[in-house]
Chains A and B, each alone.
Chain A
Amino acid sequence: MTEPILQVRDLVKHFPVQKGVVFKKTIGHVRAVDGVSFDLHRGETLGVVGESGCGKSTLAQVLMRLVQPTSGSALFEGTDMFGRKSAAELRRLRRDMQIVLQDPYTSLNPRKTVGDIVGEPFEIHPEVAPKGDRQRRVQELLDIVGLNPEHVRRYPHQFSGGQRQRIGIARALALKPKVIVCDEPVSALDVSIQAQVMNLLGELQSEFGLSYVFIAHDLGVVRHLSDRVAVMYLGKIVETGTEDEIYEHPQHPYTQALLSSVPVPDPSVRDRRETIRLSGDVPSPADPPSGCRFRTRCWKAQDICAEQPPELAVRLDGGEIDPSSEGHPSACHFAERHGHVIS
């Protein structure tokens, strides 16, 4: 395989928890992202799934350099993303990576026309589209995402949720990026509209050879669009593999429980399905459990789980680490193949 377009290693983002009004004292850290590594290849979609608070949105923000990571590195086409950079270098980097945000109602400026919103990236990167050409470029972009190019002078409130998300996608496409980070791009939309937007994302990928980091909590949506999937829990990746490996042969108990919790749209399997139900809620990322972070909700937990954090590695049935064997990495001392969780 060719060199990955994006290589992320041991990415950490801790947010300080502060106390006091005048004299601020740091009393702890929220470990939003706590040692995440992955590769993204050209033209590929990496799905990142997890429940709220697992750090998936912070990961998106760090990747876009909207927040500075605490430590860790990321290489974009071989160049370091997080080191000290001149404004010009950072601009150049941002041209190649764009983001689509979750909420199409708050991520578009209500006082700007659609033409201004989609054309704004050209103000910062005039080299992409010369001034005289901008109007035409914007209309072309609207056409690409399935909006009427004549609507450039309309305001966001004149569009429906799905159409607004299309505007957000057009804006992300404006600079012809190589990587688009999609942070829950369809979760605010109704099912029928969600399908339209997902189809659009798929078409754009094959048309422009885009790579996606696709962040979502909906496992069905992630499977549909992703080539590879990373499952996150409390700031760490607990299992990663191809879409087939994760969905058909999940090894980590959390992945298994997550897949089992998703309701299946087929009433005929209702009582025949074996289900795994987790108790309790996700612990606070400010004070994660020792050892394996999932142990407080895990039915397999033993003493070792509280003492030793399991590393993300290829494991045999039973949890022994065996890098030579076929399989995908999971972070569980007792990893076990478990088929038929989803049907």
Chain B
Amino acid sequence: MSATDDNTGGSPGARLLEVEDLHVEFRTRESTASVLNGVSYHVDAGETLAVLGESGSGKSVTAQAVMGILDTPPGFVTKGSIRYRGEELLTATEERRRGLRGENMAMIFQDALSALNPVYSVGFQIAEQFRFRRGMSRRDAMTKAAEMLDLVKIPNAKQRVKEFPHQFSGGMRQRAMIAMSLALDPDLLIADEPTTALDVTVQAQIMDLLDELRRERGMGLILITHDLGVVAEVADRIAVMYAGRVVEESDAESLYARPAHPYTEGLMASIPRLDQKGEQLASIKGLPPNLAAIPAGCPFHPRCHRAQQECREKLPELHELGAGRRSACHFAEELISSD
């Protein structure tokens, strides 16, 4: 850990990661889509922040902007700030950002099969980092790679290190991805839908592993997901995203006990529960907005059953509700105080 700390130029006491008022546009020949419209969240060391949202809500794009792997074009950061331990990343040189990737922050992706290179052995791909960033010899790097596979509980790591991605099962590939991301001992890990492609029994194994590794290493973990169940099991804090904004931020318990945004409330009512059989699910009507033409006022108002005139005209700011909770709804106070 100390090696990574030396590498960081940030000011002491600063947050591990802070994203503030981030705006990203995707420009195509036909139109410009406002994908992020002022995203703000933070993660502290040792904490799990879950970023919850449906497809198109901007949760992955935010992560890509943090990692500096946003495809430009079409994506452009137009406004905002991303600070890692107090250091501004958006104005940092590409060299500096490259130095931070892997060493200080790492990311794992949903589809491990397409994230791994099929023509190199799994061990080779992990060992690369030790060779080029740590100057190790091939042989030493391979030994370290086997240790990493062992760390993520791949049985028989010494033999499997020579195998290729197609010889691994889905769960093992995701483990290999985790091993790769942790190779240089980062203190921030972004997991973008790490278990979406996996079966439930394997999903449970991978989530347990991630949680254990976070605890052991004191990492900050950003877990991007659309699964309200997974979030409830591991998250300390939750940021709910809708149409490129954080609409609610809260600790996990309060959010599930009493959502402070009608969208969160709707999401909760939409999930078919395992422990009860209902007749009709309370679904959210309509569709998420087209990001090239986001409705005026609150972007959720056309789907919201509480919408008033005010919602159609005025964009609600993400405001404090006390006890670390924030919501972007004009009626948030009523929502959490009502029964």
**Chain A interface (Cβ within 8 Å of chain B)?**
51-52, 160, 162-163, 190-196, 198-199, 202, 217-221, 223-225, 243-244, 247, 257-268, 270, 275, 277-279, 281-282, 342-343
A190 to B270 alpha-carbon distance, docked (Å):
10
Q: Any chain A CB within 8 A of the CB of B139?
A: no
Q: Please give the distance in Å from B89's CB to the nearest CB on chain A.
A: 30
Q: How far does the Cβ of B282 sit from chain A's closest Cβ, in whole Å?
A: 7
Contact of B272 among A221, A277, A343 (CB under 8 A): A221
**Chain B residues in 8 Å Cβ range of A277:** 201, 204-205, 208
User: Does B323 make an interface contact (CB < 8 A)?
Assistant: no
* B contact residues, range: 35 or more
Task: Identify the interface centre among B255, B270, B278: most chain A CB within 10 Å of its CB.
Answer: B270
Q: Are A263 and B229 in contact (CB under 8 A)?
A: yes
Among B169, B253, B274, contact of A268 (Cβ-Cβ < 8 Å):
B253
* Contact between chains at B230 and A263 (CB < 8 Å): yes
Measured between beta carbons, the chain B residues less than 8 angstroms from A219 are 200, 274
B235 within 8 A of A: yes
In terms of DSSP, what is the predominant structure of the interface of chain B?
helix
Shortest Cβ distance from B272 into chain A, in angstroms?
A: 4
Taking CB atoms and an 8 Å cut-off, the chain B residues in 46-104 that contact chain A are 54-55
Determine whether the beta carbon of B256 is less than 8 Å from that of A268. yes
Chain B positions 240 through 276: 1 when the CB is less than 8 Å from some CB of chain A, otherwise 0: 0000000000001101110000000011111111110
A257 to B203, CA, bound (A): 12
B201 in contact with A278 (CB, 8 Å): yes
Query: Is the beta-carbon distance between B270 and A191 smaller than 8 angstroms?
Result: yes
Chain A residue numbers with a CB within 8 Å of B269 are 195
Contact A162 B271 (CB under 8 A): no
A222's nearest neighbour on chain B, judged by CB, is: B272
A197 to chain B, nearest CB (A): 9
Main secondary structure of the interface of A (DSSP, over half): helix
- Would B283 and A199 count as touching, CB distance under 8 A? yes
Contact partners of A160 in chain B: CB under 8 A: 287
Q: A192-B266, A261-B204 are in contact. Are A267 and B228 (CB under 8 A)?
A: no
Interface Cβ pair total, 8 Å cutoff: 135
Task: State in angstroms the CA–CA spacing of A194 and B268 once bound together.
Answer: 12
Select one of A196, A275, A281 contacting B283, CB under 8 A.
A196
List which B273-318 residues lie within 8 A (CB) of chain A.
273-275, 277-285, 287-288
Given contacts A195-B282, A263-B207, A265-B228, 7 further A-B contacts (CB under 8 A): A51-B202, A160-B287, A193-B283, A224-B273, A259-B274, A267-B255, A282-B199
Set A192, A267, A281, A342: member contacting B274, Cβ < 8 A = A342
Tell whether A267 pairs with B270 under 8 Å between CB atoms, given A191-B54, A224-B281. Answer: no
Inter-chain contact B201/A258, CB cutoff 8 Å? yes
Taking CB as reference atom, which chain A residue is nearest B229? A263
- Enumerate chain B residues within 8 angstroms of A261, measured Cβ to Cβ: 200-201, 203-204
B201→A195 contact, CB < 8 A: no
A202→B279 CA distance, assembly (Å): 8
Q: CB distance A247 to B274 under 8 Å?
A: yes
With A195-B282, A281-B202 known as contacts, the answer to whether A223 contacts B267 (CB < 8 A) is no
Tell which of B55, B230, B233 has the most Cβ of chain A within 10 Å: B233
In this complex, what residue of A is CB-closest to B276?
Answer: A223
